[in-house]
A and B are shown apart, each in its own frame.
Chain A
Amino acid sequence: MENTKPASRGFARHRREDLIGKTYTYLCVLMLIVVIVSIVYFVASKGLATFTKDGVSLAEFLFGRNWNPTGDTPSFGALPFIAGSFVVSMLAALIAGPLSICAALFMTEIVPGKGKRILQPAIELLSGIPSVVYGFIGLTVLIPFISSLTGGTSVGYGVGAGALVLSIMILPTITSIAADALTSLPRGMREASYALGATRWQTIYRVVLPTLAPSLWTGIILGIARAFGEALAVQMVIGNAPFLPTSLVQSASTLTSVITLNMSNTVTGTVQNNVLWSMALMLLFMTFVFIIAVRLLQRRNKL
């Protein structure tokens, strides 16, 4: 019996260490969960108050085209902003998607060594530039340029400028995800295609890209999500008029730009303030949708 004593003391210590470690990680996770749940609860309760407490109809919020929260007969149609958010994000992805995937292909397939050494830091730099700088450049360079393109018939603000600025901002996101996916592709896959007499381009089009399609879509969706959530840079170039975007060079708004512009002008608890929370809830909901989409794609990627 006495022989087992030193061993059991060590055992007790191990148990105690395990317990401490376990408790610590559990506490951290618990804190994270509490934070997430309370944020969601807070945004949801505020956002839903517009409909439950202030009696704004959900249909009006989602499909109404008229935004006039402070008028004599206030109206809360957020469709122009919802549409604005979707239009700029999709356009940005449309511009940045092909560019990023080509950049990633260049880095990994065409000039693997040098291309990656030069492009990778450049793209990382791009992702490190603060969004206000992007917005400022857009405002100073892009807006006059777009205006001159239209022959002065437009000032230049609009979803076109917003999408261009956003496309540059999401370029690094999509490029680095695409490049990671490309480097992770087993070498044998390419060799098998070459060995069958396929050229490099045939290999890229028919083997590399289709195999990686889920990962590439993941990159594009994460890019869209980032564009959807970006506020400052967009707000600086989109014009901020509460209209449905019908032209690339017509002043419009997004959900985020309306929130940043109006949050300090409203009083907490009023319908004008609550409706901004409804938009925040909408953004939260869309993020959720994007994350689910990425999850589904990743599951497909594993095959």
Chain B
Amino acid sequence: MQTSTQPRFGTEELSVFYGTNEAVKKINMEFPEKSVTALIGPSGCGKSTFLRSLNRMNDEIASARVAGRIWMDGQDLNDKNTDAVTLRQKIGMVWQRPNPFYKSIYENIAFGPRYHGTRGKKQLDEIVEQSLRRAALWDEVKDRLKESALSLSGGQQQRLCIARALSVSPQILLLDEPASALDPVSTGKVEELIIELKKDLRIVIVTHNMQQAARVSDSTAYFYLGNLIEHDDTTKLFSNPSNQMTQEYIMGRFG
């Protein structure tokens, strides 16, 4: 098997503090390659905070402190000597609300690659097309690349944000409730896209929608009050959870 040579990505005793409040408590988790991991749990359970710490976005919040280790290819991403700016190129992120830059569709995608040294017009054109194709948006926007990204619909904007995240060829994609601000049709498109993208990426998705977790993910983790209660295969977790709390949460929502 190839498993032993595949790089490992996961956390070890990862805690996040806001001031003195421990919002995420010593999480040990591994995210397997080419699979989607869903993080579920009630609001305020720490799942989004945990997700944000994976690409060190909590660095930008003055009161937040992250302890523990985030392993990627044998490197601790949470180490002080790890450059957050470089690691973020490897770990893309998409948020709940589409947040395109106030620039053209083309410039939204070309923004990241430009920073990482790609200057040639031809190369950039290629990256833009490729990223938009991967985000299943190319056919809808190929004739209007110079138009403002804000002229797109909400669902298109969200796929543009996914394309933008893909533009720097990340190995991991973090999705923070990527479909919760979208209508059912756009949600369906984003879900299809997630399943398509996991062929070559690790994906971690936070979602409030348990049907969505069941539809798109391979494994699901249930968070409660900053603790990881249970992490298992999605089918197993939803049909036969080993923890009573998980079961109650799932039943409460479904029942």
The contact string, 1 if C-beta is below 8 Å from chain A, for chain B 77-89, is 0000000011011
Stretch with Cβ within 8 A of A (4 or more), from B94-102, B137-145, B202-210: B94-102
Asked whether A195 lies within 8 Å of B101 as measured between CB atoms, the reply is no
Produce 1/0 per residue, A197-210, CB < 8 A to B.
Answer: 11100100011001
Q: Is B1 an interface residue (CB 8 A)?
A: no
Q: Is the CB of B55 within 8 A of A195?
A: yes
Which residues in A have their C-beta under 8 angstroms from that of B99? 186, 188-189, 191-192
Interface residues of A in 166-204 (CB under 8 A from B): 186, 188-199, 202
Contact B103 A210 (CB under 8 A): yes
Q: A113 at interface (Cβ–Cβ under 8 A)?
A: yes
Q: Which residue of B lies closest to A187 (CB)?
A: B99
CA distance A202 to B150 in the complex (A): 22
In the complex, A211→B161 CA distance in Å?
17
The total of Cβ contacts below 8 Å across the A-B interface reads: 69
With contacts A192-B95, A197-B168 taken as known, whether A211 is within 8 angstroms of B88 at the C-beta atoms is no
- For residue B148, which residues in chain A have a CB less than 8 angstroms away from its CB? 303
A195 lies within 8 A of B92 (CB): yes
Task: For chain B, residues 57 to 114, give those with C-beta under 8 angstroms from any C-beta of chain A.
Answer: 57, 60, 62, 85-86, 88-89, 91-93, 95, 97, 99-103, 111-112
A111: nearest chain-B partner, CB-CB: B62
- The reply to whether A210 and B85 contact each other, CB–CB distance below 8 Å, is no
Within 8 A of A (CB), among B155-204: 161, 164-165, 167-168
Fill in one digit per residue for B119-157: 1 if any A CB lies within 8 Å of its CB, else 0.
000000000000000000000000000001010000000
Query: Is B253 among interface residues, defined by CB-CB distance under 8 A?
Result: no
- In the complex, chain B residues whose CB is within 8 Å of the CB of A112: 62
The reply to whether B161 and A194 contact each other, CB–CB distance below 8 Å, is no
Q: Which of A195, A198, A206, A303 has the most CB of B within 10 A?
A: A195
Quick check: B168 and A196 within 8 Å, CB to CB? yes
- The residue in chain A whose Cβ has the minimal distance to the Cβ of B111 is A196
**Which residues of chain A from 249 to 303 have a CB within 8 Å of any chain B CB?**
303
B62→A197 contact, CB < 8 A: no
Given the known inter-chain contacts A113-B62, A188-B99, please indicate yes or no for A195 contacting B85, CB distance below 8 A: no
Do residues A210 and B57 form an inter-chain contact, with CB atoms below 8 A?
Answer: no
Partner of B161, one of A186, A192, A210: A192
B254 within 8 A of A: no
Docked-complex contact A211 and B89, CB < 8 angstroms: no
Hey, which chain A residues are within 8 Å of B89, CB to CB?
A: 196-197
Q: Identify 9 new A-B residue pairs, CB closer than 8 A, beyond the known A189-B102, A194-B60.
A: A192-B95, A194-B88, A195-B92, A195-B93, A196-B88, A197-B85, A197-B112, A197-B116, A198-B85
Residues of A within 8 A of B (CB): 112-113, 186, 188-199, 202, 206-207, 210-211, 303
